[in-house]
Structure 1
Amino acid sequence: MTVRANAQPEQLVLDLPHRQAQGAQDFLVSSSNAAAVELVDSWPHWPRPTALVVGPAGVGKSHLANVWRLRSEAALVAAQSLAETAVPVFEQRRALVVEDVDRGIGNEQVLFHLMNLAREKSGSLLLTSRVAPGELSIALPDLRSRLRATAPVAIEPPDDGLLRSVLVKLFSDLQLAVEPHVVSYLALHMDRSMEVAVQVVAACDRLSLAMQRKVTRAVAAAALAAVAPQSDDGPDVGEDDTV
Structure 2
Amino acid sequence: MSLLRTPEPPPQQPLPLVWAADHSPARLAVTDANRAVAAWLAAPALWPVPVSLLVGPQGSGKSHLAGWFAAQHACRVIEAADREDAEMLFHAWNAATPAQPLLLTSRLNPRDWGHGLPDLASRLAATPLIRLGEPDDELLAAVLAKLFADRGIKVGDDLIRWLVLRIERSLGAAQAVVDRLDAEALSRRRAVTIPLAREVVDGQFSLF
With the shorter chain as reference, the TM-score category is 0.7 to 0.9
Alpha-carbon displacement from aligned partner over 1:152-209 (angstroms, at most 9, x marks no partner): 1012211001111221222233333333332222111111222321221121122223
Match of 1:99 among 79, 91, 107: 79
CA distance 1:111–1:210, change in 2 (3 Å): closer
CA distance 1:70–1:170, change in 2 (3 Å): closer
Alpha-carbon displacement from aligned partner over 1:53-109 (angstroms, at most 9, x marks no partner): 1111122212222222233333xxxxxxxxxxxxxxxxxxxxx2121112x222x23
Aligned-pair identity in percent equals 36
3-state secondary structure, aligned to 2:105: strand
CA distance 1:179–1:124, change in 2 (3 Å): closer
Counterpart of 2:167 in structure 1: which amino acid?
A: M
Match of 1:109 among 87, 104, 109: 87
Q: Tell me which stretches of 4 or more aligned residues in structure 1 moved more than 4 Å.
A: none
User: As a proportion of its length, which structure holds more strand?
Assistant: 1
Shift of 1:32: 1.1
| TM-score for both structures, normalised by structure 2 | 0.77
Alpha-carbon displacement from aligned partner over 1:195-227 (angstroms, at most 9, x marks no partner): 321221121122223223322323112333332
Counterpart of 2:46 in structure 1: which amino acid?
A: H
Does the CA-based 8 Å contact 1:133-1:150 persist in structure 2? no
Does the CA-based 8 Å contact 1:170-1:201 persist in structure 2? yes
Q: What is the aligned partner in structure 1 of residue 164 from structure 2?
A: 187
Q: What is the aligned partner in structure 2 of residue 53 from structure 1?
A: 54
| TM-score for both structures, normalised by structure 1 | 0.67
Q: What is the aligned partner in structure 2 of residue 21 from structure 1?
A: 23
Once the two structures are overlaid, the 10-residue window that deviates more, 186-195 or 62-71, is 62-71
Q: What is the aligned partner in structure 2 of residue 37 from structure 1?
A: 38
Superposition pairs of residues 161-172 of structure 1, within 5 angstroms: 161-172=138-149
CA distance 1:142–1:181, change in 2 (3 Å): same
The answer to whether structure 1 residue 223 and structure 2 residue 200 are counterparts is yes
Counterpart of 1:115 in structure 2: which amino acid?
A: W
Does the CA-based 8 Å contact 2:74-2:99 persist in structure 1? no
Q: Which entry has the higher C-alpha Rg, 1 or 2? A: 2
Shift of 1:147: 1.3
The answer to whether structure 1 residue 118 and structure 2 residue 112 are counterparts is no
Structure 2, unmatched stretches of 5+, are 1-21
The answer to whether structure 1 residue 178 and structure 2 residue 155 are counterparts is yes
**Corresponding residue pairs, total:** 184
3-state secondary structure, aligned to 2:48: coil
Structure 1, unmatched stretches of 5+, are 1-19, 75-95, 229-243
2-structure distance, mates of 1:31, 1:167: 17
